Amino acid sequence: MTSPHPSHARIHVVGAGPGGLTCARVLQRHGIPVTVHDREPGPGSRDQGGSLDLHADNGQLALRAAGLLDEFLALARPEGQEMRQLDLTGAITDHHVPAPGEMFKPEIDRGQLRELLLGSLAPGTVRWGQGLDAVDGPAGGPRRLRFTDGSAVEADLVIGADGAFSRVRPAVSDAVPEYSGVSFLEAWFDDVDRRHPEIAGLVGQGGAHVRDGERAMFAQRNGGGHIRVYLIQRVPADWLRAAGLTPRDTAGVRALLLERYARWSPELLRLITDNDGPYVDRPIRALPVPHTWEPDPAVTLLGDAAHLMPPLGVGVNLAMLDAAELAAALAESDTVADAVRRYEKTMLPRSAECARHLEGAAEHLLSVADDDAEGPRTQG
């Protein structure tokens, strides 16, 4: 097959997360048609996750390419850059307060970011309720996307932006995410300044992190008066099932956590006993390092589909940078194949370097020796 010019290509993105939507937005700014497919029934069908910090040297660069940087900065929370390290009594041992005008990595709720990106796209760009079953067709294209609803489309380029358990990835790679040995249990607190003032005061306007070497907590303020808390432990991936529990067994999980965090102060234990609603179990997985594949001119990956790493503030930033660079390569190349080669020549070494740096880094969230460890960021 002769690779087509990008402006005449059938380009299909799988996944309507920040990476997939950024890619579609930048492509449309260059006049390149694109379709995005997502398994969710609609844009508001599920909770989109916690707060994200978008960095000036990657995530914000992608938003600039998308023509959305000013809108992002108007929504962002620079006060969310505050970071507290606490000891087991709840006392502050280290405290970063953002300087006036500091905008290197302001926070935004994942749902707000998604709404911003969705609102920038041409109507009908995203086809909801289309979960991908498989990608088939010859290497080199055209490829065929088969969806769980029984429909199918043919594509000159398939872009896998569908996250950790990507259904596009098997078209180019046999790699699967591996459990890191560290698991997060997520808890939510609503209307915190009125209903949970002690927790609001403990966390501040950004994040608060405490650890004892075996377990940790990271609490993060979101928009709208919400706080999310991540209870971090070195445990088997099936630790709840082994205890005869599910995440929705709130009372049982809470009792087990109180045993495990028994040495922690009553102020900190409020983060276990006072949450609103059930827990969410999030075992932390990562792709092998480095993760590469043989070039295919009709399939490529971005974000977690390409380089799933521990959630330390890089996942969404790299996904959006990948997306903007891939879209720019398509806008500036004579063929889709040339664009894919150009994009992967930059993306794969960059992601490999970052993944090597973060390999095993989930353990740092527990270590009391690493006082500079960044708090976690969920990658969704």
DSSP 285-346: EE--SS-----BTTEEE-THHHH---SSS-HHHHHHHHHHHHHHHHHH-SSHHHHHHHHHHH
In the chain, which residues fall in CATH 3.50.50.60? 6-82+102-176+287-363
Per-residue pLDDT at 173: 97
Angle between helices 315-332 and 336-358 (to 10 degrees): 160
CATH of domain 180-285: 3.30.9.30
Name the one residue in this structure whose structure tokens are 């938003």.
Answer: 63
Length in residues, the chain: 380
Token pair of 84, please?
Answer: 């507290």
Report how far residue 148's alpha carbon sits from residue 130's, in angstroms, rounded to the nearest whole number.
7
What are the C-alpha distances in Å from 218 to residues 52, 55, 103, 280, 297? 14, 20, 22, 14, 42
Q: Are 50 and 311 within 8 A, CB to CB?
A: no
Q: At residue 107, what is the residue type?
A: E
Q: Which residue in 320, 305, 354 sits closest to 110, CA to CA?
A: 320
Per-residue pLDDT at 379: 41
SS3 content of the chain, % helix, strand, coil (to 5): 35, 25, 45
CATH of domain 6-82+102-176+287-363: 3.50.50.60
Per-residue pLDDT at 48: 63
Per-residue pLDDT at 145: 98
* pTM for the whole structure: 0.94
Q: What is the pLDDT along the chain (380 residues), one digit of tens a residue?
A: 689 999 999 999 999 999 999 999 999 999 999 999 999 998 876 666 789 999 999 999 999 999 999 999 999 999 999 999 999 999 999 999 999 999 999 999 999 999 999 999 999 999 999 999 999 999 889 999 999 999 999 999 999 999 999 999 999 999 999 999 999 999 999 999 999 999 999 999 999 999 999 999 999 999 999 999 999 999 999 999 999 999 999 999 999 999 999 999 999 999 999 999 899 999 999 999 999 999 999 999 999 999 999 887 789 999 999 999 999 999 999 999 999 999 999 999 999 999 998 887 777 788 876 554 455 654 43
Q: Tell me the β-bridge partners of 94.
A: 85
What are the C-alpha distances in Å from 103 to residues 14, 22, 54? 31, 21, 9
Q: Are 9 and 35 within 8 A, CB to CB?
A: no
| Antiparallel, parallel or unpaired: β 35-37 and 126-127 | parallel
Token pair of 110, please?
Answer: 């994942």
Report how far residue 307's alpha carbon sits from residue 325's, in angstroms, rounded to the nearest whole number.
15
Name the one residue in this structure whose structure tokens are 């006993």.
Answer: 273
In the chain, which residues fall in CATH 3.30.9.30? 180-285
Q: Are 6 and 330 within 8 A, CB to CB?
A: yes
Per-residue pLDDT at 359: 81
* Count of C-beta atoms within a 10 Å radius of residue 174: 7
What are the C-alpha distances in Å from 12 to residues 20, 33, 109, 134? 10, 9, 26, 13
